[in-house]
């Protein structure tokens, strides 16, 4: 009863190296063009352009207050944009009532009906939607059971929603959305209410379910780890606009701008001006990569990954090479890694990551001075953009 698309065909379309990435735009399903939304004097979204291709898992990464929820609410029709257009298969969505948009929404708190059973929750949309309402009880039962089976809840249809776990509630919410076969499913921080072990398992299950159905997912999160793990494509929302949208590897290794780098929580960023062949920053002078085309007087930002920075004790740093003096504050143990925090001369915080399977940092004493160095070829330059 559930439509499952030709996975081989769809997989080739979006993963075959012969298919250029730009061709994905020809397969655009959901398109936002110059969308803006303000609340009083506060602009939540400002001239945003965004594409969700067909049959893709897209992660939208943004900090708290970046406009993530506003974007979802505009797509779903809970609110309308002040300007711009929202299109689904080239048909205008803005102005169309929520229940006629063919958009599914999985809420962070699941929003299940507590007085209905698991199966009744799943069947709710089939029985009460405005268009193509299903009235045949056998069809409703069959489609609901098929969907419960798909999300791993076979045999639990008779349970009360108050008698199932958090992970099971999330599956019910997902099944209730998917049973109506929407074109796009919006997931608002869907893993935020789950514990760490459940979150890890649900990551894999969400991807598998989406792939089987061939539905496009737009997964909104504030976790860079979750965004990179889940998305076939990752879009970073910053300042009311999409600052970068690409494959996860590209976003992580080659952030298009300093805003994207900061959202990844893996880069230190240094702002300055080019003078005498170096980038003069408040933290200290930084050497430029060999292929830098920045001219004297140019302002730019430089991004350097946490794990690309070396730490030298003062006696080891007296070789005349360029480095940043900083004072060690503390470290954070994360199992396989250790994140070390340093304070630069201007007071800025600099983070250095050590992989404990191959430790490379010296013993560090809190409050002591060190010198931080990195290969300029590991740095990413972001020339200041025109306003």
Cβ neighbours around 305 below 10 Å, total: 21
* 266-383 CATH: 2.40.50.140
Fold of the 7-253 domain: Rossmann fold (3.40.50)
Q: Is the pTM of this model over 0.95?
A: no
pLDDT means per 10 residues, the chain with 387 residues, are 41 34 64 97 96 96 92 96 96 92 89 93 89 89 93 92 89 92 92 75 87 94 94 96 97 96 96 94 94 91 97 75 92 95 96 95 95 95 73
Place of tokens 């929407």: 182
Q: What is the residue extent of each domain of the chain?
A: 7-253, 266-383
φ, ψ at 331 (rounded to 5°): -135, 160
Is the distance from CB of 59 to CB of 227 less than 8 angstroms? yes
Q: Note whether 183 and 29 are within 8 A (CB).
A: yes
Burial category of 365 from C-beta neighbours within 10 Å (exposed 0-12, middle 13-18, buried 19 and up): exposed
Say how many C-beta atoms besides its own lie within 10 A of residue 288's C-beta: 17
Q: What pLDDT is recorded for position 319?
A: 63
Alpha-carbon distance of 279 to 183, in angstroms, equals 48
> So what's the pLDDT on residue 236?
98
Q: How far apart are CA 203 and CA 225, in angstroms?
A: 11
SS (H, E, C) 278-314: EEEECCEEEECCCCCCCCCCCEEEEEEEHHHCEEECH
Supply the pLDDT for residue 6: 37
Q: 245, 223, 226: which is closest to 64 by C-alpha?
A: 223
Q: According to the model, what pLDDT value does residue 117 have?
A: 94
- The reported pLDDT for the residue numbered 56 is 96
Q: Which residues pair with 330 in a beta bridge?
A: 341
List strands edge to edge, sheet with 284-287.
284-287, 278-281, 267-275, 299-305, 380-383
Give the side-chain half-sphere CA count within 13 A for 202. 23
- Sheet with 91-92, strands from edge to edge, namely 42-53, 28-39, 83-88, 91-92
Tokens coding 368: 């002591």
DSSP run (H or E) holding 344: strand 337-344
Three-class DSSP category at 331:
strand
For residues 303 and 191, give the distance between their C-alpha atoms in angstroms, rounded to a whole number: 29
């Amino acid at each position: 009863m559930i439509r499952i698309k030709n996975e081989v065909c769809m997989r080739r379309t979006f993963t075959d190296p012969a298919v250029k990435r730009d061709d994905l735009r020809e397969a655009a399903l959901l398109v936002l063009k110059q969308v803006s939304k303000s609340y009083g004097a506060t602009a939540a979204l400002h001239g945003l352009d965004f594409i969700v291709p067909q049959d893709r898992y897209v992660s939208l990464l943004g900090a708290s207050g970046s406009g993530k929820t506003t974007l979802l609410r505009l797509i779903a029709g809970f609110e309308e944009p002040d300007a711009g257009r929202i299109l689904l298969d080239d048909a205008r969505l803005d102005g169309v009532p929520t229940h006629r948009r063919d958009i599914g929404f999985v809420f962070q708190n699941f929003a299940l009906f507590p007085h209905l059973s698991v199966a009744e929750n799943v069947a709710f949309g089939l029985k009460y939607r405005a268009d193509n309402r299903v009235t045949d009880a056998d069809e409703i039962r069959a489609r609901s059971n098929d969907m419960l089976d798909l999300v791993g809840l076979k045999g639990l249809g008779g349970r009360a929603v108050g008698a199932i776990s958090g992970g099971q509630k999330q599956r019910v919410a997902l099944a209730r959305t998917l049973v109506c076969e929407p074109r796009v499913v919006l997931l608002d921080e869907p893993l935020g209410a789950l514990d760490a072990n459940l979150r890890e398992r649900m990551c894999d299950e969400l991807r598998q379910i989406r792939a089987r159905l061939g539905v496009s997912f737009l997964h909104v999160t504030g976790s860079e780890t979750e965004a990179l793990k889940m998305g076939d494509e990752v879009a970073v929302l910053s300042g009311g606009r999409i600052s970068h949208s690409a494959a996860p590897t590209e976003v992580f290794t080659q952030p298009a701008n300093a805003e994207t780098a900061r959202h990844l929580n893996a880069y230190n960023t240094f702002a300055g001006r080019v003078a005498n062949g170096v980038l003069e920053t408040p933290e200290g002078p930084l050497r430029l990569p060999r292929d830098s085309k920045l001219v004297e007087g140019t302002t730019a930002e430089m991004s350097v990954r946490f794990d690309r920075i070396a730490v030298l004790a003062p006696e080891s740093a007296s070789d005349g090479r360029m480095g940043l003096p900083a004072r060690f504050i503390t470290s954070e143990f994360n199992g396989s890694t250790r994140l070390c925090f340093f304070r630069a001369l201007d007071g800025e915080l600099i983070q250095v990551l050590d992989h404990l399977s191959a430790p490379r940092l010296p013993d560090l004493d809190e409050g002591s001075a060190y010198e931080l160095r990195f290969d300029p070829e590991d740095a990413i330059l972001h020339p200041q953009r025109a306003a």
